[in-house]
Amino acid sequence: MVAGGTGGHIYPALTLAEGLKSRGHEICFIGSNDRMEKDLIPSSGFEYIGLDVLTTRGGIIQKIRSLLSMFNAYFKCLNIIKDFDLAIGFGNYISIPVMLAAIKLKKKTIIHEQNSFVGRANRLLDEKVDLVVGSYDENTKQFKNKNTKILGNPQSSKAFLIEKDKNVLKELGLNPDKKTVVIFMGSLGSSSVNNKLFDYFKLLDGSYQVIFATGKSHYDEVTSVINSNDYLKIFERINGIEVMKNSDLLISRAGATTIAEICALAMPSILIPSPYVPNNHQYYNGKALLDKNAAIMIEEKDLSGKYLYDVVDSLINDDEKLKELSRNASFLANKNVLDDIIKEVENI
């Protein structure tokens, strides 16, 4: 299996790997030597082989260096993959040399797409692999591979197992019987959104309570401007799935993993897609929910503290609208996603 770059690629791959391992299959991961997967995957108990592959982002010199690094990785992978039966890629440029080596060796191959807008690596591999697994109906129009199946994001399978527990909010110093909004902008957080949130927080009057997870690199910055109080609690990080399950409304980015969890949890949400990601894919993830009336979406260019306050204020006490968003989000989730993908893996 190959996954790397961001949690949006890595966590779904790990979830599938855990499911396959529980059924007796042997898993080896390949990833980069210098990105988060090099620590995250081995710490999850899986064999890991690191490659030196450079990103394609940058000028012509960087692109040439990236291409050369991929050639070197490709030849290394020819030797690694010869002893395996199947290669599964989860996108990101690191998957290109790995999957091309598997194809050359005539191994069975699967790629998984987590986003509603197909990434460049998966577009390149599309018609070369045996099976494409997508997460959104929109993927069927983007992939040319005749063996394309929309099964969902395996990461969502964990969210189906979470149950409500009033102690989750109590332990955060909040009232479990009060309307609760949870805010997080991904594991890294967002300075650009934080600046708008400061204005939003100043407008709060305690009619509902707010949990804000800043991300590790922004906690000091945020707490130097605004402090926790009875109805606003600020943390560096939280258990996102547990807190979402016990909250009434989510404000977040529109990354693939977050979207999968929103649908699995049937979570009413206000999405603020990051405009700083490749192919603007978070916008398309958010729009896929917006078009099905399964979420509210605010583009960052339109965001202000006052506008966000007005949207949340009109929504948090509108139980019918919250139920509608929840219901429509749940329609987009496949409760059997992990089992469905494992069946495809075992039958390919």
Question: What pLDDT does 116 receive?
Answer: 92
Q: How far is CA 199 from CA 189, 202, 211, 303, 308, in A?
A: 17, 5, 16, 11, 9
pLDDT along the chain (348 residues), means of 10: 91 96 97 92 96 85 89 95 96 95 98 95 97 96 97 92 94 96 86 93 96 90 92 94 97 94 96 92 96 97 97 97 98 95 97
Q: How far is CA 20 from CA 93, 267, 288, in A?
A: 24, 28, 29
Question: What pLDDT does 57 receive?
Answer: 77
Question: What dihedral angle (degrees, nearest 10) is formed by the CA atoms of 139, 342, 12, 277?
Answer: -20
- Greatest alpha-carbon pair distance for the chain in Å reads 63
Ramachandran region, residue 150 (left: φ > 0; alpha: ψ -120 to 50; beta: rest): beta
Query: What class is the 166-331 domain?
Result: alpha beta
Question: What pLDDT does 284 receive?
Answer: 95
Strand 249-252 and strand 269-271: the pairing is parallel
CATH code given to domain 7-156+336-347: 3.40.50.2000
- Domain residue extents for the chain: 7-156+336-347, 166-331
pTM: 0.87
Question: What pLDDT does 6 receive?
Answer: 84
Residues whose CB is less than 8 angstroms from the CB of residue 2 and which lie 6 or more positions away in sequence, other chains included: 13, 29, 30, 31, 87, 88, 89, 90, 94, 95, 98, 99
Contact, 110 vs 95, CB < 8 A? no
Same CATH fold assignment for domains 7-156+336-347 and 166-331:
yes
Question: What pLDDT does 278 receive?
Answer: 82
